[in-house]
Each structure stands twice: as structure tokens, then as C-alpha cells.
Structure 1
Amino acid sequence: MTKPLISVVITVFNEEENIKPLLASTYSALKDLDYEVILVEDGATDETVAEVKKYANNRTKLIIFNKNYGQTTALSAGIDMASAEYIATMDGDLQNDPTDIPMMLEKAISENWDVVAGRRANRQDGFVLRKFPSKIANWVIRNTTKVYLNDYGCSLRVYRADIAQNMGLYGELHRFIPVLAKQEGATMTEVDVKHHPRIHGTSKYGLSRTFKVMADLILMLFFQKYFQRPIHIFGTLGMLSFFVGIVINIYLLVEKILGGDIWGRPILLLGFIFLLAGIQLITTGIVAEIIVRTYFESQNKTTYKIKSVFQGE
């Protein structure tokens, strides 16, 4: 059995009203391609599964999780199951438009790109809660990682399968997929894609994600710059901390010799406590992340558990 040309991975969570138009538009957009559609149901509590089973065709698979794991894990499961030469990813809320996929696939093949990322040219979201925070996040990620894409939040992307299936998606790193792909040596470009307002259901995103994104950015920068040489960052911080400590102690020693009173200094003590606590917390987080990756990869474990898989007829 030959592999399809493209696998379209769609993550869905409580999108029962969107399933019928989503599948209809996806099948219509891909009718001239050799494709498969993989939907990942991320622990929905509504009738999403029943709706998929009702409208899925024989090129559609539905991965059903036993609970909600999050978008990154859902993407990882769909990508792992994909069998095509190219993999497209998109959300199941009807805001991405599947008619952009053939154009993106053609660009990837004809111009030999490993990743073609979507850029929402006319984004249909609220400015204060969605667009403005996204612009700030995109600017920060772009300028810290040096991976120059304009829209890290757009889920609509086309990848070469060997790139997508070797990125190592964990936690909530879906926003940083282009950075992970770049670490695999991927070549990438960005194209304008259509974007629609949400009609059914409610958004699963909000301002509460900001701190998670910033925390993940710290982790991404570590993996991007210091994963193979962690001593460069921890050694540098350690030597800097040691040097500052030596300078302060020499200063206090000189002051003591000159007859000054060095007992007390609560603000100085507090500053050292905060500095050491911050370094230790960041270090602990990174070490924990490495341990998690080692646990899963050394034993060929996955970060998710599939309840069942449905094949459309």
C-alpha cells in the first residue's frame, strides 16, 4: 500500500458543532490530493466523537484520548500516526482554512522547503485579549530565538514528515514548533493564509497563557543554545555568582578592618536569597525537563494514552 502524499492532523476539543463543516471543507479542499485526515480528540466532554464518527470518510482516522492532555500532546499523537510524505497541522475550530493546504503543499514541494508556515494576514480575533498579546509574544520569541517568523501562533503549517516526526513535542511547546524544526536543520518559509472568526464553541486560549509561554521560552532558549553544553550557562552563572560573593565579602572585610559595623544588612541578605532561589528554580526546571525527556525517550514511551482509534468508512 503506497503512502499518501499528505496527512492532515487536526486537534479537536469540545468542537461538536464544528465537526460537520470542518470535515466537509477539509474533504473538499483535498479532493485532488492523495491524503489522509487524522483527528485527535483531546478528552472532549461533548459529542465531538459521535459527530466525527457520523461524518468521517474512509480516509479519516480519529484518535480518542482517555483524558485531556493539551494541544501539544494531541499534535504529537497525530504526527506520530501520520504515514504520508508531508504533514499538515491545523486547529479544529474552523478559524484555519483547509483550502490553503494545497497551495502550501505545492510551495513545499516545488521550492523544496521543509516547513511552510501560515501567517494570518487578516486575523479575525479580538485585539486586546488575542492580537495584542500575540504580537508581543511573536516579537519576543522572534528576537530571542532568532527564528524569524511573523506568526508563531498560527497552527496551519505543512512539514516534511521526517522533520515533523523528529521534533520531540512535550509539555506545551506547540507555539515553538518552528524553533524545534529549526533545531532539526529545517528550511522554512512563511505564506499568508486565510483566517476566519470563531462561529461555534469558545476559545481555549487567554491571557493566562502568557506566563506559560514565557516559561517555555526560557526552556526553548536553553535547548536551542545550551542543550549540548550546559556548563556554558551554569558555569558562567556560577562563576559570576562566586565573583560577586567574593567582591562583597572583600568589601565587608575591608570595612570591618576599618572599624565599620557589618552586622545585619538585611537587604543584602534578602538580595542573595532571591538571586540564589531564582537560579536554583530555573535550574531545577531545566533538569526536570531533561529527566522527563530521558524517561520517555529511553524507554520509547509516549506522553499520551490512546483510548481507541476509529477508522472512517
Structure 2
Amino acid sequence: MKKPLLSVVITVYNEEENIKPLLEATYEALKEIDYEVLLVEDGATDNTVAEVKKYANDRTKLIIFNKNYGQTTALAAGIDMAQGIYIATMDGDLQNDPTDIPGMLKKAMDEEWDVVAGKRANRKDGFVLRKFPSKIANYIIRHSTKVYLNDYGCSLRVYKAEIAQNMGLYGELHRFIPVLAKLEGASMTEVDVKHHPRIHGTSKYGLSRTFKVMADLILMLFFQKYFQRPIHIFGTLGLLSFGVGVLINLYLLVLKIFGEDIWGRPILLLGFIFLLGGIQLITTGIIAEIIIRTYFESQEKKTYKIKSVYQGAVKE
């Protein structure tokens, strides 16, 4: 079977009111392109599935999860099933504009970019709950990972399929997709894209995600710098910890020599608890992440289960 030029992966979760305008806008924007659309329904509790089946054309597949797994897993499923030479990703909330996709695809093809990322030039979100936390997160990610994009939160991107399908999406790493792509050796650029205010439904994001992003950033920095040489981080921490322990013991030894009682000092016990506990928690988290990746990739297992796949019908 001939591969389409472009696969568009759209994640949807409780977006029933957005489905009709989303599909109509997408089909209109891509009418000059050989495309397929893959909608990944991430365990919706409303009529999203029924709406997709009502308005999907013959180039559209609906991937239905048996429960809610999260955006990263939904993206991974869509990317895994995509047949296109290039893969575009976007949200299903109508805030991304599919009319930007043809221009991004042309730029990727003409200039031979592996990834063309969207940058929301005039973002239509609230400042306190969305824009401000996003600016802080983007700044931290940009300068700590050295992957210099302005908008890590924009889901609208176009990839070469071989890059997208080898990134290894797990957990909640969709914000770090550019970093994962860079680890695959991808060349990337960024272009301004349109952004619309949300009309229907409610946002699934908030300030609580900031802590998750920071935790995932630690993991990304580990993958960037220490994945092939973990002894460099664990050995350094171990030596530092050992050195501090030696200094403390020497200090206590001196106090003991001069006749002071050193047993049961609260600050000493508290320091050891916090130091050793912090190192143990961070180390356990990273090791657990590696074990999970090894478990899935070595056995070619997926992190999701698909209940069914629906193929859209030809419209008369």
C-alpha cells in the first residue's frame, strides 16, 4: 500500500463539541495533500467517539483507548500507527489551527528539517494560569537542555516519520518531545503559528503540572548527559556524600578528643536523613524509569491498550 505523504495525529479527550469543526477545518486545510488523520480518543466520558464516527471521512482512523492514559501515551499510539512519510501532531481543542500544517510541511520538505515546531505567536490563554507558568517552564527547559525553542508547550509540530517513531514516548514527556528528537540527532526549526481561544470544553492543564514538568526535566537532563555514563552522576554524588561524611566524622573526632559529648546531636541526624533520603529518592526514580523502558522496549510492549479502531466511511 502506498504511504500517504502526511499523517496528522490528533489527541482528543472529552471534546465532543469540537469534533465537527475540528474535522471540517482539518479536511479543508489538507485538501491539496495526500494525507491520513488519526484521532486518538483517550478514554473520553462524553460523546466524542460518536461525534468522530459521524463526521470522519475515509482517510480518518479513530483509535479508542479502554481508559484515560494521558496525552503522551495518546500521542505515542497515534505516531506508532501513522503510515505517512511525515507526521504532524496537534491538539483536538481547536486552539491549534490546521491551516498552518501545509506551510510547516513545505518548510520541512524544502529545507530538509527533521522537525518543524510551532510557536504560538499570539497566544490566547490566561496569563496567570497558563502563559506565566509556561514562560517560566520554557525558559528553564531551554537553558538547561540547550535545545533552544521558544514554545515547548505548542503541540503543533511536523516531523519526519523516522524521527517521531523512534523517540520513545513514556510517562508525560510530550512537552519534552523536542529534547527527545534532539537525542535522536534531529535538526529542527521553529515557525510562528496561529492560536485560538478555547470555545468549547475545559482545559486539562493548570499550575499543578509545573511540578510534574520539573520532575520530568530532571529525567531529560539525565538522558542528555548521563544515560550512557551514569557513574559520572552517581559516582560524583557518592564521592561528595562520602567526603561530607568524612569531614563530619573528623570534626566529631576532634570534639571527642577535647572531651565533648557528640552522641545524639539532632542537626547531625537530621542532615544525614535529608541528604541520604534525597539521594536515594532521586536515584530510585531514575533507575525505575530505566527499568520501565527496558521492560517495554525489550519485549516490544506498548504502554497502552487499544479497545478498537474505527475507519471512516466514504462520504457521498
The aligned counterpart of 1:37 is 37
The aligned counterpart of 1:269 is 269
Q: What one-letter code is carried by the residue in structure 2 that aligns with 1:186?
A: A
Post-superposition offset of 1:272: 1.2
The aligned counterpart of 2:295 is 295
User: Aligned equivalents of 2:134 and 2:268: distance in 1?
Assistant: 38
**Secondary structure at 2:49's aligned position in 1?**
helix
**Secondary structure at 1:204's aligned position in 2?**
coil
User: Aligned equivalents of 1:99 and 1:272: distance in 2?
Assistant: 57
The aligned counterpart of 2:113 is 113
Structure 1 gap ranges (5+) = none
Post-superposition offset of 1:254: 1.2
User: Aligned equivalents of 1:196 and 1:184: distance in 2?
Assistant: 32
User: Aligned equivalents of 2:207 and 2:16: distance in 1?
Assistant: 25
Q: What one-letter code is carried by the residue in structure 2 that aligns with 1:35?
A: Y
Cα shift readout 1:53-77 (whole Å, capped 9, x = no counterpart): 0000000000000000000000000
Post-superposition offset of 1:258: 1.8
**Secondary structure at 2:307's aligned position in 1?**
strand
The aligned counterpart of 1:160 is 160
Post-superposition offset of 1:46: 0.4
The aligned counterpart of 2:66 is 66
Moved more, 246-255 or 11-20: 246-255
The aligned counterpart of 2:223 is 223
The aligned counterpart of 1:47 is 47
Percent identity between matched residues is: 86
The aligned counterpart of 2:234 is 234
Cα shift readout 1:25-83 (whole Å, capped 9, x = no counterpart): 00000000000000000000000000000000000000000000000000000000000
User: Aligned equivalents of 1:175 and 1:280: distance in 2?
Assistant: 26
**Secondary structure at 1:200's aligned position in 2?**
coil
**Secondary structure at 1:245's aligned position in 2?**
helix
The aligned counterpart of 1:250 is 250
Post-superposition offset of 1:259: 2.0
TM-score, structure 1 as length reference: 0.99
- Alignment of structure 1 residues 195-206 onto 2, 5 Å: 195-206=195-206
User: Aligned equivalents of 1:193 and 1:266: distance in 2?
Assistant: 57
**Secondary structure at 2:119's aligned position in 1?**
strand
User: Aligned equivalents of 1:247 and 1:309: distance in 2?
Assistant: 63
Structure 2 gap ranges (5+) = none
User: Aligned equivalents of 2:255 and 2:69: distance in 1?
Assistant: 57
- Kindly report structure 1 stretches of 4+ aligned residues shifted beyond 3 Å: none
Q: What one-letter code is carried by the residue in structure 1 that aligns with 2:239?
A: M
User: Aligned equivalents of 1:214 and 1:276: distance in 2?
Assistant: 21
**Secondary structure at 2:195's aligned position in 1?**
coil
Moved more, 86-95 or 207-216: 207-216
**Secondary structure at 2:90's aligned position in 1?**
strand
User: Aligned equivalents of 1:179 and 1:263: distance in 2?
Assistant: 49
Q: What one-letter code is carried by the residue in structure 2 that aligns with 1:270?
A: L
Residue 10 (structure 2) pairs with residue 10 (structure 1): yes
Post-superposition offset of 1:271: 1.2
CA RMSD, 1 decimal:
0.6
Post-superposition offset of 1:264: 2.5
Q: What one-letter code is carried by the residue in structure 2 that aligns with 1:224?
A: Q
User: Aligned equivalents of 1:228 and 1:95: distance in 2?
Assistant: 39
Cα shift readout 1:158-192 (whole Å, capped 9, x = no counterpart): 00000000000000000000000000000000000
Q: What one-letter code is carried by the residue in structure 1 that aligns with 2:89?
A: T
